Copies of this chain bind each other. A is one copy, B any other.
Amino acid sequence: MAKEITPRSEDYSQWYLDIVRKARLADTSPVRGCMVIKPHGFGIWERMRDALDAMFKETGHVNAYFPLFIPKSFLSKEAAHVEGFAKECAVVTHYRLKNDPNGGGVVVDPEAKLEEELIVRPTSETIIWNTYRDWIQSYRDLPILINQWANVVRWEMRTRPFLRTAEFLWQEGHTAHATADEAMTETRLILDVYARFAEEWMAMPVIKGLKTENERFAGADETFCIEALMQDGRALQAGTSHFLGQNFAKAFDVLFLNKDNQQEHVWATSWGVSTRLVGGLIMTHSDDDGLVIPPKLAPVQVVIVPIPKPSPELDEAAAKISTALRAKGIRVKVDDDDQNRPGFKFAEYEMIGVPVRLGLGQRDLAANQVEVARRDTKEKANVPLDGIADHIAALLEEIQQNLFDRAKAHRDGHITKVDSWDEFVEVLENKGGFLSAHWDGTTETEVEIKEKTKATIRCIPLDAPDEPGACVLTGKPSKRRVLFAKAY
């Protein structure tokens, strides 16, 4: 099994694709750039979704659903937005097929041409703000705190499962506020929710920061982001929260009567995370033997394998253990397959990333113990059956923490201060990771650095201290360091 995975040291990209395939997370599809999310991959996404959904609701948000299609003319209404999104869209032009009169199957019916083409949503600001116009009259209608779980389509040329696909699943929050302050507070609140989710659930440390103008969402005044670092030293933008100012309200004429009885444009935010997070999860924790999943997001947290195979006595013991674990809310599977050998099963559960494996044999039972194997460290230990549920519950927490600590140590070890261009190029090529460097604040310099090195400014960290310096490329003055990296 594991042998079929390309080692990370050999080819990180291929290793990623091997994990996706061998851990049964996703499959290719006959539709260019679209993937099939298989049950194991979807099980992880479902847990992410449920955890995030609960966090959104705790902070006062509700879910709703807006149409998949956007009239073409809507995209043109916000000038920056159309530049950013209109170029890579799936366009619906007809609404009917008919039998080919020449017998060639079904063909598009030329008589069923839409008057105005419909775009499959790449993001929903336009259709939502067009709707909010009808919902908002006065400050008493505000705030609107709506989130939607949906599929969106962006016609990407180069795709990679989870990380970049033509269709992907995501949530998109779209909120409307009476004041700029309130909208900015919301933008920051969601950034904190995203960071907390990434760290507490995904065990993936992130840096909260502000995007440069050049990397901003098309239509936003400010884009905040969480940035993570993958094992190969590339960064991953894991979530974004946008302060949209009054841009969409102006584009769609959304006015409200404020407390001073005056008409004013509404203030907006939007924010989203997507199935891309599954890609980030894979690349943060997994190894050359397969997937590693933090226990909180693992569809199955513990698997019990009877050794060498199921028997009435072992099955009874396994049932007893699983009952005790389930009583603690632990997700357990008992492997009752009697065709495959334990060695095969062990490799399989390593491959799909079950955090804890219990191996249960006759001798263990006689000694009133069970072999407990951790997926993260590969450590094994014999553990007494008395109190096994408490032991496993604590172990799952320990694994969750260990994965975070390990990822954080890697990330922290890959933030390198560089103060010269030579150093910048050298560290970027040989060590990778985030380069903390001075930048003169111009898009021109940012673009030049990207063209020279493929590194982009991932963010201006929110906690970056004021520190005067000289731009690593131009030598011009800089007020603080920003983080550069090559990114997914």
Binary interface encoding of chain A residues 10-50 relative to chain B, with 1 for a CB under 8 A from any of its CBs, else 0:
00000000000000000101110011111100110110000
Report how many residues on chain A are interfacial, defined by Cβ distance under 8 Å: 64
Cβ of B87 and Cβ of A97 under 8 Å apart? Answer: yes
Cβ of B67 and Cβ of A86 under 8 Å apart? Answer: no
In the complex, A327 has a CB within 8 A of chain B:
no
Binary interface encoding of chain A residues 55-96 relative to chain B, with 1 for a CB under 8 A from any of its CBs, else 0:
000000011111111111111100000100011111111111
How long is the Cα–Cα vector from A36 to B127 in the complex, in angstroms?
Answer: 10
In the complex, A159 has a CB within 8 A of chain B:
no
Interface hits, A130-156 → B, CB 8 Å: 130-131, 134-135, 140, 146, 150-151, 153, 155
In the complex, A268 has a CB within 8 A of chain B:
no
Cβ of A98 and Cβ of B106 under 8 Å apart? Answer: no
Given the interface pairs A92-B90, A92-B120, A155-B95, the reply to whether A36 lies near B75 with Cβ below 8 Å is: no
How long is the Cα–Cα vector from A93 to B37 in the complex, in angstroms?
Answer: 25
Contacts of A67 in B (CB 8 A): 29, 31, 34-36, 167
Cβ of B30 and Cβ of A130 under 8 Å apart? Answer: yes
Interface hits, A95-125 → B, CB 8 Å: 95-98, 105-106, 108, 117-120
In the complex, A169 has a CB within 8 A of chain B:
yes
Contacts of A169 in B (CB 8 A): 65
How long is the Cα–Cα vector from A467 to B69 in the complex, in angstroms?
Answer: 51
Measured between C-beta atoms, what is the minimum distance from A340 to chain B in Å? 10
Measured between C-beta atoms, what is the minimum distance from A413 to chain B in Å? 36
The residue in chain B whose Cβ has the minimal distance to the Cβ of A117 is B108
Given the interface pairs A30-B71, A64-B36, the reply to whether A108 lies near B93 with Cβ below 8 Å is: yes
Cβ of A89 and Cβ of B93 under 8 Å apart? Answer: no
Partner of A131, one of B27, B106, B134: B27
Cβ of B86 and Cβ of A97 under 8 Å apart? Answer: yes
Interface hits, A285-323 → B, CB 8 Å: none
How long is the Cα–Cα vector from A120 to B114 in the complex, in angstroms?
Answer: 15
Measured between C-beta atoms, what is the minimum distance from A395 to chain B in Å? 26
How long is the Cα–Cα vector from A93 to B38 in the complex, in angstroms?
Answer: 28
How long is the Cα–Cα vector from A46 to B153 in the complex, in angstroms?
Answer: 23
Given the interface pairs A96-B87, A106-B76, A155-B95, the reply to whether A66 lies near B118 with Cβ below 8 Å is: no
Most buried by B among A29, A70, A130, A169: A29
How long is the Cα–Cα vector from A231 to B140 in the complex, in angstroms?
Answer: 36
How long is the Cα–Cα vector from A14 to B49 in the complex, in angstroms?
Answer: 37
Measured between C-beta atoms, what is the minimum distance from A71 to chain B in Å? 6
How long is the Cα–Cα vector from A29 to B91 in the complex, in angstroms?
Answer: 18
Contacts of A30 in B (CB 8 A): 71, 74, 127, 130
- Report A's interface with B, CB cutoff 8 A: 27, 29-31, 34-39, 42-43, 45-46, 62-76, 82, 86-98, 105-106, 108, 117-120, 127, 130-131, 134-135, 140, 146, 150-151, 153, 155, 167, 169, 339
Q: Would you list 14 pairs from A and B whose C-beta atoms are within 8 A, ordered by A residue?
A: A29-B67, A29-B127, A30-B130, A31-B67, A31-B69, A31-B71, A36-B131, A39-B63, A42-B62, A45-B65, A82-B106, A87-B96, A91-B94, A97-B119
A36-B64, A46-B63, A93-B108 known, 14 other contacts, Cβ within 8 Å: A29-B127, A31-B69, A31-B118, A34-B68, A36-B67, A42-B62, A42-B65, A68-B167, A75-B106, A76-B106, A86-B98, A88-B95, A90-B118, A95-B155
